[in-house]
């Protein structure tokens, strides 16, 4: 046994028995991970001479969790695991398996790897190579940490639902303030939301950050509805979110959220200063690109950086048509182009132009032009 004369004499028989049952070569390393007995079997694994620190760390992981931890080697296609050999609650050495090809077999092979890793710890316990009390305590600690993790996740879900309910009560006023660029009113509402978050989340920073992230998503959506350019917001949010990881207290977090609000309102103001013709051109271009799809006013407005109502308003002001009238005219114009320049069937032209079917094309085309698509094609394709 460890700590006695010829303390490693047991290893040969231990290794042979393990190899015969599972087919994996077992190594014995000292407390620093340097190999004492056994030879690394040559493989294609890049870590034949694996850093000793990694072997030692693998053994410590097993002791910490109370179960064998399978690690990836330097090459992602290979695995290793280790079990500590202890004396007086100190790690004197470790039993190591490394360079195991994870792609050598299918599901049954993977199951054999897991069984071999688990069995190495079980045999070490049976041979009194590791403290059973230490493993028992480790497993209790692992169970406690798992329970804490699940409790944390449940708490986060609860907070998320509670925050969502509170936000929905405040949303109309906040959205209105953001759309009008009223920073003072928006900040007052935001402060009420933050107080609610802090009262539920307490001083648990990770929970607070999780809730704040959801709030930012909601505010960003409101800003886009208010007229902010989505692409501009995406870049600004990405840069700002990278700062969130470094925030350590509630006051700093509140400042960060208020700065995000200011940037959202600024983005709305900046976009609203664009000439309406630019925003309208953006909407028309999107409609042309997606004319064959089931376009909705809200979708077009979002891509133009406008609210749906604002898009309808500037279409009437600048083009004298409603959104639906404009979309219909564009589809008729597309069908005219295809009728003149292609030999496509009427059914295909209908679908390419965004109509439901040939019948729908015939009805709308005749209403807009006074003739059928077929007559239109004949008129333009007939010899002059």
* Per-residue pLDDT tens digits for 12-40: 899 999 989 888 889 999 988 888 887 76
Torsion of CA 321, 325, 327, 328, to 10 degrees: -140
Cβ proximity of 338 and 304 under 8 Å: no
Residue 78: per-residue pLDDT: 76
Alpha carbon distances (Å) from 327 to 103, 350, 356 = 55, 14, 14
d(CA 258, CA 251): 11
d(CA 81, CA 345): 66
Alpha carbon distances (Å) from 118 to 104, 113, 212 = 19, 9, 42
> In sequence order, which residues have a C-beta less than 8 Å from that of residue 92 and are 6 or more positions away?
2, 3, 7, 30, 31, 85, 86
138 versus 330: the higher-pLDDT residue is 330
Cβ proximity of 278 and 313 under 8 Å: no
Cβ proximity of 304 and 295 under 8 Å: no
The answer to whether residue 355 scores a pLDDT higher than 60 is: yes
Locus of tokens 């004949």? 378
d(CA 174, CA 261): 11
The answer to whether residue 172 scores a pLDDT higher than 80 is: no
Percent of the chain with pLDDT over 70: 67
Task: Specify the DSSP class assigned to residue 277.
Answer: H
Per the DSSP assignment, residues forming a β-bridge with 100 are 79
pLDDT band, very low/low/confident/very high, at 330 (cuts 50, 70, 90): very high
Reading the block at residue 181, the tokens are 């660029």
d(CA 348, CA 326): 22
Coil vs helix vs strand at 308:
helix
Domain ranges of the chain: 11-130, 150-272, 274-320, 324-384
Reading the block at residue 118, the tokens are 């688990």
pLDDT per position as a tens digit, 274-309: 456 667 877 888 899 899 898 999 888 877 767 788
d(CA 137, CA 63): 10
Specify the fold of 324-384. Answer: Arc Repressor Mutant, subunit A (1.10.10)
d(CA 138, CA 135): 5
d(CA 349, CA 362): 11
pLDDT per position as a tens digit, 60-100: 888 888 888 887 765 456 788 899 998 877 888 999 998 88
Locus of tokens 């009008």? 180
Average pLDDT over residues 357-375: 93
Instruction: Give pTM, 2 decimals.
Output: 0.39
Average pLDDT over residues 139-144: 71
Return the CATH class of domain 11-130. Answer: alpha beta
Coil vs helix vs strand at 31:
coil
Task: Specify the DSSP class assigned to residue 150.
Answer: H
């Amino acid at each position: 046994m460890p700590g006695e004369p010829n303390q490693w004499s047991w290893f040969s028989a231990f290794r042979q028995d393990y190899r015969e049952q599972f087919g994996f070569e077992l190594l014995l390393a000292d407390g620093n991970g340097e190999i004492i007995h056994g030879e690394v079997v040559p493989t294609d694994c890049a870590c034949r001479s694996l850093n000793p620190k990694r072997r030692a760390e693998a053994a410590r992981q097993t002791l910490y969790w109370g179960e064998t931890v399978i690690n990836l080697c330097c090459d992602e296609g290979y695995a290793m695991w280790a079990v500590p050999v202890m004396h007086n609650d100190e790690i004197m050495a470790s039993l190591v398996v490394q360079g195991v090809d994870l792609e050598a077999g299918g599901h049954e092979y993977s199951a054999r790897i897991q069984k071999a890793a688990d069995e190495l710890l079980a045999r070490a316990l049976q041979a009194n190579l590791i403290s059973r009390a230490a493993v028992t305590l480790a497993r209790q600690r692992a169970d406690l940490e798992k329970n804490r993790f699940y409790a944390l996740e449940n708490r986060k879900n609860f907070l998320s639902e509670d925050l969502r309910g509170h936000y929905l009560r405040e949303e109309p006023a906040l959205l209105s303030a953001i759309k009008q660029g009223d920073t003072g009113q928006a900040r007052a509402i935001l402060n009420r939301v933050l107080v609610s978050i802090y009262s539920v989340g307490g001083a648990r920073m990770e929970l607070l950050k999780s809730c704040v992230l959801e709030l930012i998503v909601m505010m960003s959506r409101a800003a886009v509805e208010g007229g902010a350019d989505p692409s501009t917001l995406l870049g600004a949010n990405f840069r700002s979110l990278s700062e969130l990881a470094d925030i350590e207290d509630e006051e700093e977090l509140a400042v960060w959220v208020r700065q995000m609000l200011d940037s959202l309102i600024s983005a709305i103001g900046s976009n609203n200063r664009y000439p309406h013709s630019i925003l309208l051109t953006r909407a028309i271009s999107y409609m042309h690109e997606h004319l064959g799809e089931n376009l909705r006013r809200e979708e077009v407005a979002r891509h133009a950086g406008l609210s749906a109502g604002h898009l309808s308003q500037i279409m009437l002001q600048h083009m004298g048509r409603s959104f639906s009238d404009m979309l219909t005219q564009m589809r008729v114009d597309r069908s005219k182009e295809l009728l003149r320049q292609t030999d496509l069937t009427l059914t295909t032209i209908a679908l390419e132009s965004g109509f439901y079917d040939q019948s729908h094309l015939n009805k709308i085309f005749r209403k807009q032009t006074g003739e059928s698509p077929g007559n239109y094609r004949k008129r333009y394709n007939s010899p002059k």
